[in-house]
Amino acid sequence: MKSQAILIFATLASLVITAATGSAQSIVDQWQYTLRRPGGDWQQPGFEAAGWKQGSGGFGTRDTPGARVGTTWATNSIWLRKTFALDAVPDHPALLVHHDEDAQIWLNGKRVANLKGFTTEYIVVPLEDADRAALRRGENLLAVHCRQTGGGQFIDVHLVDADNVPALPEPQRSTRPFISDLITEWGESVTPENAWTEYPRPQLKRDNWTNLNGLWDYAITARDQQEAPQNWDGQILVPFSLESKLGGVQRLLDPTETLWYRRTFTAPKSPEQRTILNFEAVDYRCEAFVNGRSVGSHTGGNTPFAFDITDALEEGENRLIVRVDDDTEEYQLRGKQTLNPRGIWYTQVSGIWQTVWLEQVPKVHARHVIIHTWLDGTVHVRVDAAGAEAAGAEAAGAEASNLKLQAVVRHGDEEVVRATGTGTELTLRVPDPQLWSPDSPTLYDLQLRVGDDAVQSYFGIREVGKVQDADGHWRFTLNGQPIFHWGPLDQGWWPDGLLTPPSDEGMLFDIQWLKQAGFNMIRKHIKVEPRRYYYHCDRLGMMVWQDQVSGGESRQKGWPEWTRLRPNPVDAVWPAEQHEQFMAELEEMIHHLESHPSIVVWVPFNEAWGQHQTVEVGKWTEQRDPSRLVNIASGGNFWPVGDIVDHHQYPHPGFPFDLNHNGRFDDYIKVIGEFGGHGYPVREHLWDADRRNWGYGDLPQTEAEYKQRYVQSLEMIHELQSRGIAAGVYTQTTDVEGEINGLMTYDRKVIKIPAKELATLHQRLFAE
């Protein structure tokens, strides 16, 4: 993948290094640079470099052999200028250089080198006597132009004494992410008062709650600091991450650092009530303290968790502190986040990135509700009730089986059925059930009383399955009827909030637009969204393939060789502790989302990213939730487990039917889990115009050519339907950072193909 340009600013303009001989030489690592051809005599000392950027050397991509990258450079050309001081002109001056194509170098306006080809390490290039004459005591100017047309790249140049070449320091990692001007219309309206004010858990809703989003104090310390800081660095807008524009900080958290949060709140104290502190998501490890007392900790950056803080509360004002560590890489489940954003890998996200809230509940209360349905109208409700065992023992010397449970089902204003019982489970029967589907997303309201706890929920009645057609091809079914799954790869990234949508309204826009465009499914890619996202899919009628968030980062750290659908794949080997954490986070995701009717497929792995113990993970997922289908590894290494065999092919769709050796795929639904990715840049709506913005295949020259390529892919997927392909996933909903292969721009302000036009084009996929 091509790399993205990120502006990295060195903390120090120069460093003093000691060479092997013991003498000292000043290495200046701070440059001015531009990625656009400058005018005038830009190589000359008197040139005014107005508008040039500041960056730390060297410049290039981190996968280039021998590179020490301070600033990522991933465009075709770069122009550089830096000044350095000499106490005396060396007798044998030289250039210490690591270069790519056509590196031209000037000293004080005189060209002293024209280097062809590339190097894979630093080399010493002695200067001719005539070039030495260009140097002088005091301030000197070094100017460089380098060109590179593909692949890894790097340029770094220093003037050194050839008799005493210094060792170069490691470049310092920036504390700033790339800062783009892009912002969505919803992001433009965000304030501390309106930041995510909606109730965050629609399937278990109470009236009595307190939103803790807004401005919090934050501080960054060394990882080994265990005590809360005395001094705070400023304020951050929760629930937006440290790195995001909307958070107001835009600071990268290093794996050696810890992020702290602080705010105060008031909560009533009552002997009959418990106070629950809820976090919808914190990336990645966190511990919470109320009035100096630890109230709980959690590991995993993608799912909700809660702490009972009742015993730590004080009358009046209470102090809440949250400590967060985030390694981002290694085996940590992080999805598309990376410490080195490039290509398909995006800016890291650290800390609180979804809503934080308080809730007052009875001693005995529902922590979670799980709802399963069948086509005959049978609805099974299971409640995870906190305090039930104690309440049962106090009331009747028995166990939680004495807990009183009541359920009332309504459709609109009409009561449909009610039931009461004891214990934590109830089964109801809805007469003449109206089934949930993309064409008719019927939802029933469910009111539950668990002891003295009253909560509101909802459900949709539907069944997910598969069937063989007359030609022996496996097809998806919904409510017993075959259905072609057609949707986009949807990553849920935002230019202003990164992983956090700027608002509920903005998040809803994406789903509504995709529905209008004629898609009936979304593949939610390597991300778990806020729970309201799935609520909107439920009520709008949008099926969801839900990916598990991936971990690991390379073949050395948790990734196997990617063999796709070829026979005899080999799994990666994960350490036991890291595998247990992977499974714990998979369980948490399913636990929190399993009652949403919109979710129809679980996807434990994507491609070969962290793919390990595949059969074991697949069988566990099948047993954990038999009500849905399992796509064990979308586009990944094929193992005989789950329900689906999934191939990725870019730019146009295809499937390797020839690899069906001995009928390996015969028992599986065949899908193309990714294809397309046709890129089209829209000026003024690019994350960074000074980089190689890319899509799959060569970029089209016109909007008409872009649309023609989309239609061609659509025609090909339509033809593949007759050969047994049961689903298609087009990459992707929006541009993301350097990827410009979205159906709309990253800021959602430009639609590349109108929704109505897409809906008309898509009709052919649903023709019987």
pLDDT score recorded for residue 14: 34
116 — pLDDT class (breaks 50, 70, 90): very high
**End-to-end Cα distance, the chain:** 39
Q: Tell me the two tokens of residue 306.
A: 């809660």
218-275, pLDDT tens digit by residue? 999 999 999 999 999 999 999 999 999 999 999 999 999 999 999 999 998 888 899 9
Quickly count: other Cβ atoms within 10 Å of residue 452's Cβ: 13
Are 304 and 279 within 8 A, CB to CB? yes
The domains located in the chain, with CATH, are: 14-161 (2.60.120.260), 371-459 (2.60.40.10)
579-632, pLDDT tens digit by residue? 999 999 999 999 999 999 999 999 999 999 999 999 999 999 999 999 999 999
d(CA 533, CA 202): 10
Integer-rounded Cα Rg, in Å, for the chain is 29
pLDDT score recorded for residue 400: 58
Does the structure show a pLDDT above 80 at 172?
no
pLDDT score recorded for residue 12: 29
d(CA 208, CA 431): 33
Percent of the chain, pLDDT > 90?
A: 85
pLDDT score recorded for residue 61: 86
pLDDT score recorded for residue 388: 62
> What is the pTM assigned to this prediction?
0.91
413-447, pLDDT tens digit by residue? 999 999 999 999 999 999 999 999 999 999 999 99
7-26, pLDDT tens digit by residue? 322 332 333 333 333 333 57
pLDDT score recorded for residue 171: 82
Does the structure show a pLDDT above 60 at 696?
yes
Percent of the chain, pLDDT > 70?
A: 95
How does the average pLDDT of the chain come out, rounded?
92
d(CA 155, CA 103): 8
CA distances for 207 relative to 178, 198, 210, 266, angstroms: 41, 12, 10, 17
Provide the 3-class DSSP secondary structure of residue 58.
Answer: coil
**b or e along 271-309 (b: 16 or more beta carbons within 10 Å of the residue's beta carbon)?**
eebbbbbbbbbbbbbbbbbbeeeebbebbbbbbbbbbbb
pLDDT score recorded for residue 278: 98
Rounded mean pLDDT, 180-198: 98
H or E segment to which residue 747 belongs: none
pLDDT score recorded for residue 74: 84
**Which residues, 6+ apart, have CB-to-CB distance to 652 below 8 Å?**
675, 676, 712, 713, 716
Half-sphere exposure of 566 (CA within 13 A, CB side): 7
Beta bridge partner(s), residue 371: 381
526-577, pLDDT tens digit by residue? 999 999 999 999 999 999 999 999 998 877 788 999 999 999 999 999 999 9
Q: Which residue has the higher pLDDT, 400 or 490?
A: 490
Q: Which residue has the higher pLDDT, 302 or 2?
A: 302
6 — pLDDT class (breaks 50, 70, 90): very low
C-alpha angle with apex 460: 456 to 461, nearest 5 degrees? 135
